[in-house]
Amino acid sequence: MSSTPLPAGLLDRAALAVGPGTAPAVAGELAALTGRPVLGYDAEGRITGAEGGAPDAPLVLVGATLPPALRGDPRVRWFHSVNAGVDALLDGGWPAGVLLTRTVGRMGERIGQYALAWVLADCQGVPGHLARTAARAWRREPSELAAGQTALVYGTGHIGTAVASALRAAGLHTVGVGRAEHAPDGPFDERITAGEDGPWLGRARFVVDALPLTDATRDFFADARLSALRGATFLNVGRGATVSLPALGRALAAGHVRGAVLDVLTDEPPAPGHPVWELPRTTLTSHSAGITAGTDITADFRACWEALRAGRAPELAVRVGRGY
């Protein structure tokens, strides 16, 4: 994929189609923005509602998936994903010459609040209070201040930055773990690379996984890292496959990980007999930390549309070689 703008005039001739499950309100806003009818495409890649349209018009698609029939269609020139994570779209390769953009919207703000909520709940002993209430047992639960605790935030992009901002506002010392070329600014007290995290693992009270899924991050949190923790609470708001569940189970059993909050899994939803249900001191939150709203989709598509109309590369263009 190239993030260079589309050829001049292409958007003037393009037809716009939305994928299965797209809310009518979103389609209506896209029609108002682009000044043209919004078509549809189904799971088999058939364009619907195109009667009377130009059969060879370039296609701009908005959706969650790109069916195989459309992956090989030379008319497809731009695909805007309604999700922030694009690893499923990139699995098996991305069509050459097709611009890929993604939706971020206010997801970072939502996930930042989610992470902060669970950090504060952990510090205030909320899980213990809930268990005591269910058991009708009266006992004080220990608590601790969040301020001054160290949080390692893996992933220093849009999501990780928002998480660090929320945690830092509560007084946590935030250490961003990301690529070396990322600028040392934003709401991180310190910035390190993944190869430099060793000394921090034993000092972290919280570890937040906000990594995208790439070849380099698959099973990133395995025995080596998880066994180096010393009672940290682990939160995954990135991608499920960045964590080895067997390794997490061993770290929980050994006490290296105090507790885990998993918003994402490799297999969603997990079957009733899936091992993840047996992990001790672990809470699953059903991929709900950063639910995408229709307004997120339309706002980010608008930003990309306006950038392309002005001859600029959209900020939300995916760098396919990196996977995000």
Per-residue pLDDT tens for 14-24? 999 999 999 99
Helix (H) or strand (E) holding 167: helix 158-169
Assess whether pLDDT exceeds 90 at residue 205. yes
256 catalytic? Reply is no
Assess whether pLDDT exceeds 90 at residue 302. yes
* Full DSSP string of 47-90: EES-TTS-TT--EEEEES---HHHHT-TTEEEEEESSS--HHHH
Structure tokens at 305: 């549309």
Per-residue pLDDT tens for 156-202? 999 999 999 999 999 999 999 998 655 556 799 999 999 999 999 99
Per the residue annotation, which of 268, 312, 315, 319 is the catalytic one?
268
239 catalytic? Reply is yes
Per the residue annotation, which of 110, 168, 239, 256 is the catalytic one?
239
Mean pLDDT over each residue of the chain, to the nearest integer: 93
268 catalytic? Reply is yes
Q: Is the dihedral of CA 279, 285, 287, 290 positive or negative?
A: negative
Stretch 302-311: mean pLDDT: 96
Pairing of strands 190-192, 150-154: unpaired
Asked if 178 and 191 touch (Cβ cutoff 8 Å), the reply is yes
Per-residue pLDDT tens for 221-272? 999 999 999 999 999 999 999 999 999 999 999 999 999 999 999 999 999 9
**Amino acid 71: pLDDT:** 94
Per the residue annotation, which of 71, 258, 287, 302 is the catalytic one?
287
Q: In what order do the strands lie in the sheet with 190-192?
A: 190-192, 173-177, 150-154, 206-209, 232-236, 257-262, 282-284
